[in-house]
Amino acid sequence: MATLPSQISPTEIRPPDYWADARSPLSSLCFLLPWLAVYEAGIYLASLESTATVQNGADYWMRSLLTHAGAGHLVLPVLVVGVLLAWHLAGKHPWRLKAETQLGMFAESLLLAIGLMALGRLHQWLFDLHVPNSHQTPLAMLPLLPPAAVRAVTYLGAGVYEEVLFRLCLIPAACLVFRMFEFPGRLAAVMATLTTSFLFAIAHHIGPAADAFNLYSFSFRAAAGVFFAAVFLLRGFGITVGCHAAYDLLVGVLLAPPGSLPIEHT
């Protein structure tokens, strides 16, 4: 019976596992690039039209901070790409990309987005049990909605940059802070999830273009924050971005009745 050479371990010749491969920084980066490219092209084209505003809040905050530091407009997407590449190099991950992994990540993102939609329906049902029609906004209060294409670009940006800020940056930072206070690893992750989910929800109600505070939308976004944080911790950054963007596109563009305000977008 033939034996393996001593310098080759069985794990080096075993076919890569999709569940692990999809979590790798390189797979996340390649999965992220199309979303990022479409969004950046969208905000560039919108900048040529004075009436179109497509930047989401997280993108605006981070880009404004970089602009005040003297950085150019394109530094933010370059920085995101650089962080993922640095993560890949620091973790000594293999330089391996598989088309089936990318397709699997897309399918998984859609399934998770549908799962979040189910969570949204459950959230709506629970609210209606106690406060009927609490999720509905009077027609007179609805803002003038931008065209579907503009909303789609905005939601793509939310999928990318809200996940960069609240999951990729803040969850590890919050975990580190809780670990400094000697929280056990799993409890630190739970506390980081809850803390960043609260910040994620409240951030939608801060700023001149923010939504007016509403307990229904706030509580749903907090629950969605927990959902996205769990996906990030269990399935990686790329699928979290895909899930978030797919959910917002489904509820905010594809399934939203004409003229309606998709309150449950994230």
Domain ranges of the chain: 18-91+100-136+143-254
**Residue 163 scores a pLDDT above 90:** yes
- pTM value is 0.85
Q: Which residues fall within 8 angstroms of residue 218, CB to CB, at 6 or more apart? A: 201, 202, 204, 205
Q: How confident is residue 28, by pLDDT bands cut at 50, 70 and 90? A: very high
Quick: pLDDT tens for 203-221.
Answer: 888 765 667 788 888 999 9
Q: Kindly report the number of other CB atoms within 10 A of residue 61's CB atom.
A: 16
How many angstroms separate the CA atoms of 109 and 239, rounded? 6
Point out the least confidently predicted range of 19-28, 49-58, 201-210, 257-266. Answer: 257-266
How many angstroms separate the CA atoms of 82 and 5, rounded? 37
Stretch 31-36: mean pLDDT:
94
Measuring CA to CA, which residue among 199, 202, 120, 215 is closest to residue 167? 199
- The chain-wide mean pLDDT, for the chain, equals 83
- Packing angle of the helix pair 57-68, 75-90 (nearest 10 deg): 90
Bigger pLDDT: 69 or 176? 176
pLDDT on residue 47: 72
Q: How confident is residue 222, by pLDDT bands cut at 50, 70 and 90? A: very high
Contact predicate 125/114, CB 8 Å? no
How many angstroms separate the CA atoms of 38 and 35, rounded? 5
Measuring CA to CA, which residue among 127, 99, 203 is closest to residue 158? 203
pLDDT on residue 23: 94
Total residue length of the chain: 266
State how far Cα 186 lies from the chain centre: 22
**Residue 145 scores a pLDDT above 90:** no
Bigger pLDDT: 159 or 148? 159
Contact predicate 77/40, CB 8 Å? yes
How many angstroms separate the CA atoms of 66 and 68, rounded? 5
- Packing angle of the helix pair 215-235, 237-249 (nearest 10 deg): 150
Quick: pLDDT tens for 177-191.
Answer: 999 999 999 999 999
How many angstroms separate the CA atoms of 22 and 262, rounded? 30
Q: What are the CA-CA distances from residue 65 to residues 8, 40, 68, 71, 237 (Å)?
A: 48, 18, 5, 9, 23
**Residue 52 scores a pLDDT above 60:** no
Query: Encoding tokens for residue 108?
Result: 């998984």
Q: What are the CA-CA distances from residue 106 to residues 15, 86, 100, 243 (Å)?
A: 21, 24, 10, 8
pLDDT on residue 134: 58
